């Protein structure tokens, strides 16, 4: 039998945490043959509720779950973890300035970066979910210099999956037959959901999404805004933000990163830019990536048309501004 993998979930008493921990314990994230030990962190006001989640995990009697650490102590939470899913953060409340929210999250991610750097297992992989996800990941990277930058990422897989979902609904086909959409940039409404390279698997081979949809006005308009605004639409409908889809996307992100993407398929991940596609180096930016042997690689050489170029640049500009704002909170 395999040795258990230690998976940290911060903000584990929250909405996404409640949907995510049972998925991890069932093997959705790391495979049906991979035992796990869950580390759950939250803050003292949520300690009792966190303990309730731990009780439910015990009650669910998951065969793969070999242990649960539920704590409000960051060091205890981070010790020995192989995977860290950072869901905890400070939410934007009504009337709060952007800078105030940024400042709270910068201080959270700065201190959790140090704890991970000192106490996590070597080669720990980190996924930041909490918003502003790209910039929180960047701060985490800056304050955990001994964690290789290739091990730090943020979640845009939910946006990627939303794009697949919209195409499958539009064409009335299985979502599993759609592939290679791309989310470029920030996990925010400036993200660019790009279908120019996306295909559909049909009995007569792969066909381009653009040709099958045959409606450029929709693909360049409503499709993009629907994906960009989907989070807001869920809040309007549910009076709560996306949780099960976010948890599922976090599992997809880690699973593909660790176990690899299928041949001929790429996914979107927020990763540290090396300047590919003329995206400024030094931002955490969502790119199309393939994964093998536990490492992601940015898909190179995709042609970018003028329409796309503008959208790639716009979301990069927003990320540069966020980065400057985050740095201004450090002093």
What count of other Cβ atoms lies within 10 Å of the Cβ of residue 63? Answer: 10
133 binds ligand NAX (CB under 6 A): yes
Complex with ligand NAX: residue 41 or 144, whichever CB lies closer: 41
Q: Is 17 annotated as a binding residue?
A: yes
Shortest CB 283 distance to ligand NAX, Å? 16
Alpha-carbon gap, residue 231 to 97, rounded angstroms: 20
Shortest CB 75 distance to ligand NAX, Å? 13
Q: Is 92 annotated as a binding residue?
A: yes
Q: Is 165 annotated as a binding residue?
A: no
Q: Cis ω on the peptide bond leading into residue 116 (within 30° of 0)?
A: no
Sequence-distant (6+) residues with CB within 8 A of 24 are 7, 9, 30, 36, 38, 251
- Residue choice 83, 129, 251, 269 for contact with ligand NAX (CB under 6 A): 129
Residue 144 token pair: 């955990």
- Residue choice 43, 201, 314, 325 for contact with ligand NAX (CB under 6 A): 43
Q: Are strands 192-194 and 5-10 parallel, antiparallel or unpaired?
A: unpaired
- Residue choice 130, 164, 254, 279 for contact with ligand NAX (CB under 6 A): 130
Shortest CB 194 distance to ligand NAX, Å? 17
Alpha-carbon gap, residue 76 to 66, rounded angstroms: 17
Q: Is 230 annotated as a binding residue?
A: no
Closest C-alpha among 316, 88, 328 to residue 185 = 316
Residue 304 token pair: 């970018």
288 binds ligand NAX (CB under 6 A): no
Q: Is 151 annotated as a binding residue?
A: no
Shortest CB 88 distance to ligand NAX, Å? 3
11 binds ligand NAX (CB under 6 A): yes
243 binds ligand NAX (CB under 6 A): yes
Half-sphere exposure for 162 (CA within 13 Å, toward CB): 27
Known catalytic membership, residue 39: no
Contacting range for ligand NAX; rule: CB under 6 A; set: 89-97, 191-199, 256-264, 317-325: 89-97
Shortest CB 113 distance to ligand NAX, Å? 12
187 binds ligand NAX (CB under 6 A): yes
Shortest CB 16 distance to ligand NAX, Å? 3
Q: Is 11 annotated as a binding residue?
A: yes
What count of other Cβ atoms lies within 10 Å of the Cβ of residue 309? Answer: 13
Sequence-distant (6+) residues with CB within 8 A of 197 are 180, 182, 288, 302
Q: Is 98 annotated as a binding residue?
A: yes
16 binds ligand NAX (CB under 6 A): yes
10 binds ligand NAX (CB under 6 A): yes
88 binds ligand NAX (CB under 6 A): yes
| Positions of E strands within the chain | 5-10, 36-41, 65-71, 83-86, 125-128, 152-154, 178-179, 182-184, 192-194, 199-202, 205-208, 267-272, 284-292, 295-298
Contacting range for ligand NAX; rule: CB under 6 A; set: 25-33, 39-47, 61-69, 304-312: 39-47
Q: Are strands 199-202 and 178-179 parallel, antiparallel or unpaired?
A: antiparallel
Cα angle for residues 189, 194, 187 (degrees, 5° grid): 30
Q: Report, as residue numbers or ranges, the catalytic residues.
A: 187
Applying CB under 6 A, the residues found at the interface with ligand NAX are 10-11, 13-17, 41-43, 46, 87-91, 108, 129-131, 133, 155, 158, 187, 231, 241-243, 246
């Amino acid at each position: 039998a395999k040795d258990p993998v230690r998976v940290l979930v911060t903000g584990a008493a929250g909405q996404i945490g409640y949907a995510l921990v049972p998925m991890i314990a069932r093997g959705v994230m790391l495979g049906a043959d991979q035992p796990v030990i869950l580390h759950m962190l939250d803050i003292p006001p949520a300690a009792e509720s966190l303990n309730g989640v731990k009780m439910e995990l015990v009650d669910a009697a998951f065969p793969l779950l070999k242990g649960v650490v539920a704590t409000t102590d960051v060091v205890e939470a981070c010790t020995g973890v192989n995977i860290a899913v950072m869901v905890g953060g400070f939410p934007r409340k009504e009337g709060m300035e952007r800078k105030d929210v940024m400042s709270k999250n910068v201080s959270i991610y700065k201190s959790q970066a140090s704890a991970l750097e000192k106490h996590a297992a070597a080669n720990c992989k980190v996924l930041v979910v909490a918003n502003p996800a790209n910039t929180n990941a960047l701060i985490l990277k800056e304050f955990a210099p001994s964690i290789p930058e290739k091990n730090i990422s943020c979640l845009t897989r939910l946006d990627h999956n939303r794009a697949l979902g919209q195409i499958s609904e539009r064409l009335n086909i299985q979502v599993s037959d759609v592939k290679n959409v791309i989310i470029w940039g920030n996990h925010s409404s400036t993200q660019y959901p790009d279908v120019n390279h996306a295909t559909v698997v049909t009995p007569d081979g792969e066909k381009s999404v653009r040709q099958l949809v045959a409606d450029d006005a929709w693909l360049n308009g409503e499709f993009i805004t629907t994906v960009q605004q989907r989070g807001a639409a869920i809040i309007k409908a549910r009076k709560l933000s996306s949780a099960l889809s976010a948890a599922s996307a976090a599992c997809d992100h880690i699973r593909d990163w660790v176990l690899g993407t299928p041949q001929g398929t790429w996914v979107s991940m927020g990763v540290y830019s090396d300047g590919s596609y003329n995206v400024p180096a030094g931002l955490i930016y969502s790119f199309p990536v393939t994964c093998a042997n536990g490492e992601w690689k940015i898909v190179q050489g995709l042609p970018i048309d003028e329409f796309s170029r503008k959208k790639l640049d716009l979301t990069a500009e927003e990320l540069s501004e966020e980065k400057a704002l985050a740095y201004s909170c450090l002093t």
